[in-house]
Amino acid sequence: MAIPPSLVEALRRRGLDVGYLIDTLLINSSIDPPEAVKAHAELATMAFNEGVEFANKGDVVQASEKLYKAVEEAIKALAMAKNLEEAREALSKGRWTVALLDNAVSKLGDVVERAWDAAYFLHVNGFHEVRINIEQVRRRIPYIRSLIDELRDEVKVQ
């Protein structure tokens, strides 16, 4: 089920991020871990597809943020699927931190490491600072695509 755009916009006007709300629900609810893994994987895939669309339209800011979100969600899904200490800590804290994500990355392999580096660059330079161009965004998509492909193989999502 898709979230109606009018609801997303109403929440944004109130300063609420739908992704953050969904993430909070996933970590603070009684959703079974396999279902939470699948949900994070689906969020990663959706954000990746949206990021590529924004990149194709030349929107640096939105492409950068969606691609970062795709990697963040993929890391969460893989860390949970592999029952990493960082996933357990995020569950006990009730939230993920950048430090937990980064520590999980170090245990998930080279594909994840390259995607995380690319995504973090986009998050800082494309979303927050807006000091890169669309070609710099597009150059990083293959690294993120490799992670999404690995995630699909691991979690079996479309």
Which letter does DSSP use for residue 124 in this model?
A: I
Domain residue spans of the chain: 33-155
- Residue recorded with tokens 């998930």: 108
Domain spanning 33-155 has what CATH number?
1.20.120.330
Is residue 128 over pLDDT 90? no
What does the pLDDT look like over 20-63, one tens digit per residue? 556 666 665 566 778 889 989 999 999 999 999 999 999 999 99
- Give the separation between CA 143 and CA 139, rounded to whole angstroms: 8
Rounded CA gap, 151 and 74, in Å? 7
Distances (CA, A) of 1 to 4, 41: 9, 16
pLDDT tier at 17 (50, 70, 90 boundaries)?
Answer: low
CA distances from 74 to 44, 128, 129 (A): 5, 21, 24
Residue with tokens 């895939």: 45
For the full predicted model, state whether its pTM sits above 0.95.
no
Q: How do residues 63-108 score in pLDDT, each as one tens digit?
A: 999 999 999 999 999 999 999 999 999 988 888 999 999 999 999 9
d(C-alpha 7, C-alpha 146), whole Å: 32
